[in-house]
Amino acid sequence: MSLPLVNPKLLSLPDAEAARVRWRADGKRVVLTNGVFDLLHTGHLFFLQKARTLGDVLCVMLNADASVRALKGPRRPVQSEAERAYALAALACVDGIVIFHGSRLAKEILALRPDVYVKAGDYTLEKLEATERAALQLVESRIEFMPFLAGFSTTALIAKIKAATSDSSPAAGEI
């Protein structure tokens, strides 16, 4: 059964650019991050809430389904980009979401000119992709690395779900 997912926080890149102009006019500091956010878990929530404290507005660049498959393999994402965006939009700490279709964010960074760009602590400045790092430097974004909350990952969560369901099969439609 497919329900229409009304999501006012889901923006096109041009709409996000227009919002960025309004946010800047209001004196707001924009924080940008990106990711797959396939099955929201404690690690994601911790990261997003901490990222939001670095500014007034948190914008999340969400990997499109095709880019997730390229990064994670043919069985991912578990949830569609619309479902993932809807889940992110339910979080008070997230102000805007843009689905990006490329493999890199340089174009989006140049368009949105974030005040702060945040990645999880498993990244370092050297691990940031060169074109993204160059775009961040060009727009003079502060780059922050949030502490990585060990023990939480979507891959580990999927493994736990598989282990929990291997003993018995749920009835159709049962969660």
Q: Is residue 167 part of a domain?
A: no
Relative to beta strand 96-100, strand 30-35 is unpaired
Averaged pLDDT for residues 1-25: 90
Q: Is residue 136 part of a domain?
A: yes
- The parent domain of residue 147 ranges over 13-156
Closest CA to 111 of 15, 33, 25, 8: 15
Instruction: Say which CATH number the domain at 118 has.
Output: 3.40.50.620
Closest CA to 147 of 114, 116, 123: 123
- The residue type found at 52 is R
Q: Is residue 7 part of a domain?
A: no
pLDDT digit string, tens, across residues 119-145: 987 788 898 999 999 999 999 999 999
Q: Is residue 6 part of a domain?
A: no
Averaged pLDDT for residues 57-77: 93
Contact 117, 144 (CB under 8 A): yes
Contact 35, 76 (CB under 8 A): no
Task: Output DSSP code: residue 56.
Answer: S
